[in-house]
Amino acid sequence: MPGKIKLIADSGSTKAEWGLLGAAAPGPYRTQGISPYFQTVEQIVQIFRQELIPQLPANIHIDEIYFYGTGLSQPKNIAGVTEALKIVWPDSYIEVDHDLMGAARALCGRGPGIASILGTGSNSCYYDGNGIIKNNPGLGYVLGDEGSGAYLGRKVLQYYLYNTFDEELRMRFDEKYNTNKDEILENVYRKPLANRYLAGFASFLSENRQHYMVENILEDGLNDFFFNHIYKYRESWTTSLHFVGGVAWNFRDILKELCELYELPMGRVMRTPMEGLIEFHH
């Protein structure tokens, strides 16, 4: 009798990654992010049907679905994503959990550690190997998300709009984005998914490493994450610090430097949780 086929998802605000366990074509498969704060059940179902299902092997029967996503600490949001999954896969066992639990399981497995997400948004927790014991609350991109793509992207825009960038960086910014103050404010204050828009400017930092202003933005932004979050866990000095997400991966050298500076034990850094989640759910 063939083994069960499991569909595992890790979704941020910007993009989602999917893997199949027990299938000939494990993926990963990619779709836009699922964010129950900004999308209705119907919109989420549409993403599943239009973006994911065409990528999956034809006529595959999925026995179990494990979905880890942003915003899923709220019961209402868990119910919405569960409903959308049930509409598309009515016969599958479905488990929906916060992306922080997915990150902790991927990074720490069944051992203890501090697990941090640095992607479009940011979050962190102390995980004891079974569950999340402590979570310094994330406040979203308006009030918090220190060290995230949205936080760093906001710094880029501030430097640009306040004319803090020197002439060299200002020219590079204009050449890359060809935008202006009115368009930026329109996207930030009037259009949906402003967090994704802000995070899009973090790539400017990756492309201009070694410029002292860029390095200042990165060091300050990631240090803010350590000061406001990592420092709040006493376990940070006794168990390894692990990081996942595009920002964590792209600027892992700075994370390493900060851990060395504060004499904190550095652990794993992963681009996405998928590899660790596949391993965890085997």
pLDDT tens, residue by residue, 121-163: 899 999 999 999 999 877 777 877 899 999 999 999 999 999 9
Distance, CA of 72 to CA of 53 (rounded, Å): 23
Q: Who contacts 94 (Cβ-Cβ below 8 Å, separation ≥6)?
A: 64, 65, 67, 82, 85, 86
Locate all alpha helices (DSSP H) within 48-135, ordered by sequence: 75-88, 99-108
Low-confidence ranges of the chain (pLDDT < 70): 1-2
* Token pair of 29 as six digits: 């498969």
What's the pLDDT at 79? 94
122, β-bridge pairs: 118
Cα distances from 275 to residues 1, 30, 238, 281, in angstroms, run 26, 14, 26, 10
What's the pLDDT at 26? 84
What's the pLDDT at 71? 83
